[in-house]
Structure 1
Amino acid sequence: MSERTPFPSGRPVVLRGGTVLPMDDRRRVLENTDVLVVGDRIAAVGTALPVPDDTVAVDATDGIVMPGMIDTHRHMWQTAMRGYGADWTLTQYFVWYYLESGKLFRPQDVYAGNLLAAVEALDAGVTTVVDWSHGLRTVDHADAAVDALRSVPGRFVLAYGNIQQPPAVWTGAPEFRDFVRRRITGDDMLGFQIAFDVTGDPEFPERPAFETARDLGVPVTTHAGVWGATGDDGIRLMHDNGFMTPQTVYVHAASLSTDSYHRIAATGGSVSVSTESEQSAGQGYPPTWAIRAHGIPVSLSMDTSVWWSGDLFSAMRATLGADRAREHLEAHARGETVTHCALRAEQVVDWATRGGARAIGRGHDLGSVEAGRKADLVLLKNEHSPVSFPVLNPFGHVAFQAQRGDVHTVLVDGRVVKHEHRLVGIDLAAVRARTDATVAYLRATLGEEGWRRGMSPDVPETGILDNPYTYTDFRTASTHSRKE
């Protein structure tokens, strides 16, 4: 049973009279414009469009029509723990998930987290999510992750990872290859990446994982430039061994040297910036200023709901704030004043849409409102909010004023999945029941004292690396050190 009567399916849909942000190179704003959807594609964009007789009309007057947003790095399996780690540092996150309690997650718990995250994304107008799924301890966990994604009418990319084993081990296992053969079928609703990090160990134990990715012809996504964990040593190893490609996505990239940025730029990779995460957890200062200086493509991500909100409005707002704060601080240190912002609202809206599409290799059919593109669309409109008017600068409105409650209608692949602020065909009671079951299991397993302590876990006195990947003893002052 769904939350509401399904929107008429199989019929054309027209969004009438909205302010359309096509997200093109000219950053145009099209006022009083219609968007016609036929099947899974945008059929036309224009004024007073003629439409087929059976077309369902959605009044977009006083609203903003934009491409569906794309999140290029979200640990969806952790979403059932929403807000649990609000006061964590990155080290505490590592302790709880990588070294201790993350090992408790069963396949059904991964399913519950992915299901909740997928529904949450659609509600916030995020039509595509890269599921940076590094909790896949077994293939059963991986099957559960995909089953959850397949049950929700969104677009996803499974970035397969396993923090409990060395990348060379799990990518080399026959069951991993079998999983790829069984579940990754080329359906454009479910893409595939391999997700692992590079410690910087000169022995390069991650090489076999890169070779597997190359053999399968799939991209690698990696946490790079994470203070105390991954840094320039890993980038050099990837570059010197020929594993930096235009498809590689570097997450955070917040504590890298100019040399590493040069290598990323020269090889055509992109960076997924998680500004709220970098600000709060401590991977490094959000690096959009450095990335822009080197001409590296940018996409946005929210990382994990164990800390932050699963929407990209927050990501855009935080990114503008962090970049501009640094610009002002540096100017003041020189006795100067910033008179024009270097990073503009239109740029972060572009990163949240086209930037994400390009990062996942879908720049040709996602991320823009244009005839022939896939019909992944968002209408921002809220007649019950005083914040919905006036809309004087649409890009600024999206980046600074809008929020998930303003998401009126969402289409994915031409299908209406949210309308009039309500999800369509989604059984929230069932989602809640699965989430509650996972929380109850974890809480009972940890015990009440362990559960409370986990909200601010102790860091073990010995035997822990700041880099939580313990399959190598490599350590260096520039990446990680052992507490004695």
Structure 2
Amino acid sequence: MLIKGGQVLSMDREIGDLPKGDILIEDGQITAVQPEISADAEIVDATGMIVIPGFVDSHRHTWEAAIRNCAPNATLDDYFVEVLDTFAPLYRAEDVYASNLAGSLECLNAGITTLVDWSHINNTPEHPDAGIRALQETGIRAQYAYGSANTSLADYWFDSKIAIPGDDVRRVRETYFSSDSGLLTMALATRGTGFCVEDVVRSEWTLARDLGIPITVHVGMGRLAGRFGMIKQLHELGLLGPDTTYIHCCYFSDEEWQLVADSGGTISLAPQVEVQMGHGWPPVMKAIGYGLRPSLSIDVVTTVPGDMFTQMRSAFGTERARVNAECWQANVDIPENMLTARDMLELATVNGAHVAGLEDVTGSLTPGKRADVVLLDATALNMAPIHDPVAAVVLSADVSNVDTVIVDGVVRKRGGKLLADVAAARTAVQASRDYLVDQVAQRKTTAPV
């Protein structure tokens, strides 16, 4: 496949940006990125397109697609009750399948080619099987992060004594992820200190490291977890390491930032959720200041949109607003390292791949990497005329501009339309919504007064 004549934002600092460039793909791998390439190949005409690497969503609870927008006004405290203690206990394996199918197609439609699926809905062994099967069917690149069950808020959150079942994690690892080089890889989605007793925390970290899979954990957010001092506790337990991604991180002490940086940990931020639900200010510049490379994620479609354009703009606007306000208050000039549009595109692509442990595979248009490529229609009125292609992507583009999406060399969206049975996915996820809403209503009707 030869992508010809697009405006290429490679996100590879050696290749740079090409005002007009070609990308050659062979056997799912990028083999050349140059101003002009001649080859006997299927031609993808990228005239009028901006060509970028696929976006990387480094943390999404994809299973919540069936309850999209159920909690539009929720705080984080509300979310625990309205989602984890209301809908989650009712989820059947088929609801996880329907949500992951629709949710990962939603990602592909929006130009997200890599997804960290933070799946804390494993109420039975059939639940992870269903979620993984849906990811396989859509053809997205994904890291399946095996999480806890969610059948009771009292049992699974806040000093929980119930560990993620090691036997089932091992079964899933052996059944689906015997190799770490496939389109799908595995991680462990742990709740961590404050949410679990120390013995559970130790057992889950040990399980992940025994299996050689990375760890991903929510930390330092909101009224509750912001006061747990989770990083300091993990340090005292001797558990910090380069295999761990820390999500949100809104309320870290300087000591905790340094501990994460020194341990080689990685950072995932969900800016729209963080400012909307009360997690705290997205600490983009704080992370960068400690030499870290933060990434972006969607988190929950129960409350925010599921596209990366929203996240880039939310992080860009809120972080600049916070810094500007602090500088105004102190009557000083804004710092020279103020966030730029290019910074935000890096967070959404190559930094995301770094956080997912896939930087040698995806995140930039670099020869040798797998071909995860997105073509954006830059002739549309919301983007044209182009003065600065990076600014056009970060500040003007939206899902309607995503014309073509390629994952591992396979076209998943062409001419603005997904090459998938969207109607079947929509029917399935709507049926799950109907079932879950009905079950919630029945419980409210029969609940004791």
Q: What TM-score bracket applies, with the shorter chain setting the length?
A: over 0.9
Which of the numbers 44, 47, 51 marks the counterpart of 2:32? Answer: 44
Match of 2:185 in 1: 191
1:422 paired residue among 417, 421, 446: 417
Aligned with 2:200: secondary structure?
A: coil
Following superposition, the deviation at residue 82 of structure 1 comes to 1.3
- Aligned-partner Cα distance in 2 for 1:408–1:101: 35
Code of the aligned partner of 1:33 = G
Contact 2:372 2:407 in 1 (8 A): yes
Query: Match of 2:395?
Result: 400
Q: Does 1:442 align with 2:442?
A: no
Q: How does 1:197-236 map to 2 (within 5 A)?
A: 197-200=191-194, 203-231=198-226, 233-236=229-232
Shift of 1:341: 6.5
Deviation of 1:163 (Å):
4.6
Residue type at the aligned position of 1:79: A
Partner of 1:63: 49
Q: Could you say which residue in structure 1 is the equivalent of 2:3?
A: 15
Q: Which residue of 1 aligns with 2:139?
A: 153
Aligned residues: 435
1:137-180 superposed Cα distances (whole Å, 9 cap, x missing partner): 11111101101111101111111111536577443442332222
Matched AA of 1:294: Y
Tell me if the contact between 1:193 and 1:219 (Cα under 8 Å) persists in the aligned partners.
yes
User: Using a 3 Å threshold, how does the CA distance of structure 1 residues 361 and 203 change in structure 2: closer, same or farther?
Assistant: closer
Q: Tell me which residue corresponds to 1:470.
A: none
Q: Residues of 2 paired with 1:180 and 1:339: CA distance?
A: 46
Corresponding residue for residue 5 of structure 1: none
Distance (whole Å) between structure 1 residues aligned to residue 37 and residue 70 of structure 2: 49
Quick check: 123-132 or 358-367, which moved more? 358-367
Aligned counterpart, 1:279:
275
Partner of 1:141, secondary structure, is helix
Q: CA deviation at 1:411?
A: 0.5
Percent identity between the aligned chains? 33
- Assess if the C-alpha contact under 8 Å between 2:18 and 2:35 holds in 1: no
d(CA) in 2 for partners of 1:127, 1:161: 22
Q: Is the 1:192–1:218 Cα contact (8 Å) retained in structure 2?
A: yes
Alignment of 1:293-332 (within 5 A): 293-332=289-328
TM-score, length-normalised on structure 2?
Answer: 0.92
Between 104-113 and 41-50, report the one with greater CA deviation: 41-50
CA distance in 2, matches of 1:82, 1:199: 29
The 3-state SS of whatever aligns with 1:171 is coil
Paired with 1:69 and 1:390, the residues of 2 have a C-alpha distance of 23
Q: CA separation in 2, counterparts of 1:272 and 1:355?
A: 9
Q: Distance in 2 between matches of 1:227 and 1:329?
A: 21
Q: 1:203 to 1:393 in 2, by over 3 A?
A: same
Contact 2:50 2:378 (C-alpha < 8 Å) held by counterparts: no
**Tell me, what secondary structure is at the counterpart of 1:35?**
strand
Q: Is the 8 A contact 1:172 1:208 kept in 2?
A: no
1:372 alignment partner in structure 2: 368
3-state SS, counterpart of residue 49 of structure 1: coil
Q: Which runs of 5+ in 2 are unaligned?
A: none
Correspondence for 1:34: 22
With the length of structure 1 as denominator, give the TM-score of the two structures.
0.86
Amino acid at match of 2:234: M
How far does the alpha carbon of each residue in 1:443-473 deviate from its partner, in whole angstroms, 9 at most, with x for none? 211228959xxxxxxxxxxxxxxxxxxxxxx
1:86 counterpart (72, 80, 90): 72
What is the DSSP-based 3-state SS (H/G/I as helix, E as strand, rest coil) of the residue aligned with 1:131?
strand
Aligned residue in 2 for 1:239:
235
CA distance in 1, matches of 2:252, 2:367: 40
Deviation at 1:27, TM superposition (A): 8.1
Q: Is 2:409 the partner of 1:409?
A: no
Amino acid at match of 1:356: G
Residue 286 (structure 1) shift: 1.0
How far does residue 333 in structure 1 lie from its aligned partner after superposition? 0.3
8 A contact 1:409–1:417 mirrored in 2: yes
CA distance, structure 1, for counterparts of residue 161 and residue 263 of structure 2: 24
Q: 2:171 aligns with which of 172, 178, 181?
A: 178
Q: Distance in 2 between matches of 1:183 and 1:365?
A: 19
- CA deviation digits over 1:390-445, x for unaligned, max 9? 21111111110111110111100000111110111x11110011111101111211
Q: Deviation of residue 99 (structure 1)?
A: 2.4
1:129 matched residue in structure 2 = 115
Task: Give, in angstroms, the shift of residue 293 of structure 1.
Answer: 1.6
Tell me how far 1:247 sits from its aligned partner: 2.1
In 2, the alpha carbon distance for the partners of 1:60 and 1:448 equals 52
Does the aligned pair in 2 maintain the 1:157–1:190 contact within 8 Å? yes
Question: Structure 1 89/450 Cα, relative in aligned 2: closer, same or farther at 3 Å?
Answer: farther
Q: Which letter maps to 1:236?
A: K
Q: Is the 8 A contact 1:407 1:421 kept in 2?
A: yes
The residue matched to 1:95 in structure 2 has which SS?
A: helix
Structure 1 counterpart SS, 2:411: strand
Root-mean-square deviation (CA, aligned residues, Å) is 2.0
